[in-house]
């Protein structure tokens, strides 16, 4: 019960979650606990039984107040319409709920994220009092900093409160992608699901939904984030957004984890 791998989906994303689950058991060679957070639906048991998956059925996190705030003070629209069309993304915060304290370490992967090699390098990261995740400026420092994840002009009173609470330096802070992360569940005593939900409603200016809020608390406030190493001891890439982000155009087989691989 020391480590669990977790993914999350609603009914529409279940096929993607199943692909990630399959990858974890095959290419990833993960034989331990594997959990699917199922938001507002019951996955068909026959599809998950071969992969020994524990289903954690949850109701969608209450986002009514957030939606109301976004309608009153709209923030800049994103191409995927996530602010109203992808509210299930906020359910990722439920991985910081009390249920998951049964494990010492949680490794979270987005539904659809592909696993091409063993997961062992994730487990070699010293996880105590830390959340590990990729730096969004990798692999060649594209200049992305936390300010680009927030709409700092849409709601001046909220921006003032945010900068008062977290400091002006947050705008130039590096930040993590949260499509894959590893964390010590002891951090829940420092920053719980309730704390994250409170920040969600207090600062409704995150352009990337839950990712901006997670970074405000874990990266800026508590300073417990550490960036993934780009390569493992074997010389393979630990994580990549896409092979196309790399000048050398490595094959998918040269990565342990890929968010958007070119191969199907």
- DSSP letters of 83-133? HHH-GGGGGGGGGGSGGGGGSSEEEEE-TT-EE-S-SHHHHTS--TT-EEE
Cβ atoms of 230 and 138 within 8 Å: the answer is yes
pLDDT reading at 199 higher than 80 = yes
Cβ atoms of 257 and 238 within 8 Å: the answer is yes
For residue 203, give the nearest of 56, 55, 75, 104 by alpha carbon.
75
Average pLDDT over residues 137-157: 96
pLDDT in tens, 206-225: 999 999 999 999 999 999 99
Cβ atoms of 2 and 105 within 8 Å: the answer is yes
Give Cα 111 distance to the centre of its chain: 10
Q: DSSP code of 75? A: P
Average pLDDT over residues 137-150: 95
Both tokens of 209, joined, read 């939904």
pLDDT of 1? 64
pLDDT of 263? 81
The domain limits of the chain are 3-258
| Domain 3-258: CATH class, spelled out | alpha beta
Q: Does the global pTM surpass 0.85?
A: yes
- Going by DSSP bridges, is the β-strand pair 180-184/105-109 parallel, antiparallel, or unpaired? antiparallel
pLDDT reading at 97 higher than 70 = yes
Both tokens of 30, joined, read 């993960």
Average pLDDT over residues 235-245: 97
pLDDT reading at 181 higher than 70 = yes
Alpha helices in the chain (DSSP H): 14-25, 45-48, 64-72, 82-85, 120-123, 156-166, 193-202, 210-214
Cα 240 to Cα 114: distance, rounded to the nearest angstrom: 10
Cα 66 to Cα 41: distance, rounded to the nearest angstrom: 23
pLDDT reading at 158 higher than 90 = yes
pLDDT reading at 264 higher than 80 = no
DSSP helix, strand, coil percent of the chain (3-state; round to 5):
40, 20, 40
For all residues of the chain together, what is the average pLDDT? 97
Cβ atoms of 182 and 127 within 8 Å: the answer is yes
């Amino acid at each position: 019960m020391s480590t669990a791998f977790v993914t999350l989906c609603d009914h529409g994303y279940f096929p993607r979650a199943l692909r990630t689950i399959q990858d974890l058991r095959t290419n990833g060679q993960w034989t331990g606990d594997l959990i699917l957070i199922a938001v507002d639906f019951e996955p068909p048991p026959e599809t998950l039984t071969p992969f020994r998956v524990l289903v954690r059925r949850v109701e969608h996190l209450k986002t009514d107040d957030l939606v109301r705030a976004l309608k009153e003070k709209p923030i800049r629209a994103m191409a995927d319409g996530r602010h109203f069309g992808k509210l299930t993304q906020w359910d990722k915060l439920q991985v910081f709920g009390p249920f998951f304290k049964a494990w010492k370490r949680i490794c979270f992967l987005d539904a659809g994220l592909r696993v091409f090699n063993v997961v062992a390098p994730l487990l070699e990261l010293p996880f105590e009092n830390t959340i590990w995740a990729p730096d969004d400026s990798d692999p060649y420092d594209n200049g992305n900093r936390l300010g680009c994840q927030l709409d700092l002009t849409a709601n001046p009173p909220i921006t003032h409160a945010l900068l008062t609470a977290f400091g002006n330096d947050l705008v130039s802070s590096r930040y993590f992608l949260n499509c894959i992360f590893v964390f010590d569940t002891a951090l829940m005593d420092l920053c719980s699901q309730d704390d994250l939900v409170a920040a969600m409603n207090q600062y409704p200016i995150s352009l990337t939904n839950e990712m901006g809020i997670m970074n405000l608390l874990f990266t800026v406030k508590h300073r417990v984030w550490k960036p993934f190493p780009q390569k493992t001891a074997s010389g393979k890439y630990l994580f990549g957004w896409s092979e196309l982000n790399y000048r050398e155009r490595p094959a998918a087989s040269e990565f342990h984890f890929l968010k958007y691989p070119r191969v199907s």
